[in-house]
Amino acid sequence: MAVFYKPQSKDKTLKSFEALCTALDIHGRGVAKHEGRIWFVPGVMEQEKFRALVVNQKEQVGTAKLVKLLTVNKERRAVDCPLLEKCGGCPLEHLPLKKALEAKIQGIKKLFSRVLKEDLGEPSFIEESVEDAYRRVCRLSTKTDHGKVYLGFRSAFSQNLVPIDKCKVLEDRMNDILEPLRKFINSLKGKKTIGHVELVSSDGALGILLRLTSNLDPDDEVLCQAFAKDRGILIFVQEPSKHFITQEEVLNERVVAGDPHELYLNVKGYKIIFTPSAFVQINKVINEKLQDRVLEALDLKGEECVLDLFCGLGNFSFPIAKTGASVVGVDIVRSMVEEANLNAQNFGLEKLKFCVADLEDDFEKQMWAKQNYDAVVLDPGRSGAKLACQFLSKLKPKLAVMISCNPLAASRDVAQLVQGGYKIKSWGVFDMFPRTSHVEMMLVLERAS
């Protein structure tokens, strides 16, 4: 059989390229066009020529990793963190704060315009933040190497641990405890059973949560008490155990050192006691501005009934209750709901109650869902509030205030509300997470009359 020569086709897959950045996207990544594709390249600014290595590519879009800057924008900021390339926790460090926030705002406008088929307009407000020492909550991973435990953050590009002894976005007293904490952990018998270490800088004491894979050794508990007393902090542990009825594995959280009443948040005059595993907004100053904006949007007179979905500890429920309005807070995390109810009882807030419900499942048969509400506040996680918005379209409260840390999910949910008869009254942004690609936004929706 004759075999004829057939020239092999060349591999058209691009390996690397050079291009000019012409814009920034909603995540603060550089945007460039090359060979018919739109490329997204982290670490690049407008008007910078660069060389990049392809990470992935499709027919029309691709992502790439910056290899070298060929020209530099004069507004580019100098790197001020030695761990930037390893940690990846501050991907927008090179951008001036205002430029990074403006990129996110413009990205939100483009996203909502595409989803809603109408112009979102300019934000009614922009709440800016300082970029240093703003973070009051963090989770540290652990790694054991040659019998020694290290604390740090996971790399953005791998599962490798980046040990840290200081981070410029953490509050000062969190930084101050890092090195003593590392030494303390290495003194424990059960140091290898510590999976994560969480820090929360409350308005009272500094709280530390040790997440364990087995029960805390009694000798280690004595060491925890001594360390906590010496430092004026609280130490909690989360340990695995068996449910006494189902025998399923559950996690129990308990305080082992310090007075648990000293871990609290000041919320509009209310001292909200909580445990360190509860969700707390990381940026205290911006969160207070967020609370103020929500109250301003609701414009309550004191006789209304308000539903607070994804309420957590009551970040909005307690400020709303202070106006005299009746409030029902709903969240899936039972421990936070129990803490919120206990705090409400301690303050004698009879018109404030909290309920447990999975808002991503069928919840409409619960008693709280059968009431009528004048307004609803929603602060879902990154996955959004798809079922909750379907519920609101049927419940038909006059006003809905949505807070979101994920504009993509928010655009989907808002589109659903618009289809259900609502219109966007106003919107704004909060720079809750400076130096990162994330942004917090708030939308006020009014039911069309």
Phi, psi angles (nearest 5°) of residue 410: -65, -40
What letter does residue 302 receive in the DSSP assignment?
S
How far, CA to CA in Å, does 254 sit from each of 142, 216, 292? 21, 11, 33
Active site annotation includes 405: yes
Q: Are 338 and 346 in contact (CB under 8 A)?
A: no
For residue 62, give the nearest of 78, 42, 46, 81 by alpha carbon.
42
- If one counts every other C-beta atom within 10 angstroms of the C-beta of residue 61, the result is 11
Starting at the earlier edge strand, list the strands of the sheet with 249-257: 161-163, 148-154, 137-145, 194-201, 206-212, 234-242, 249-257
Calculate Rg over the CA atoms of the chain: 25
Q: What is the DSSP string of 29-98?
A: -EEEEETTEEEEETT--TT-EEEEEEEEE-SSEEEEEEEEESS--TTPPPP--TTHHHH-S-TTTTS-HH
How far, CA to CA in Å, does 255 sit from each of 210, 213, 251, 311, 412? 10, 17, 13, 24, 41
Phi, psi angles (nearest 5°) of residue 136: -105, 0
Cβ-defined contacts of 100-105 (< 8 Å, 24+): 100/28, 100/434, 100/435, 101/126, 101/128, 101/429, 101/431, 101/439, 103/24, 103/25, 103/26, 103/28, 104/26, 104/27, 104/28, 104/429, 104/439, 105/429, 105/439
Bridge pairing between strands 49-57 and 61-69:
antiparallel
Bridge pairing between strands 352-356 and 326-331:
parallel
Q: Which of 87, 90, 389, 405 is the catalytic position?
A: 405
| Catalytic sites, residue numbers | 405
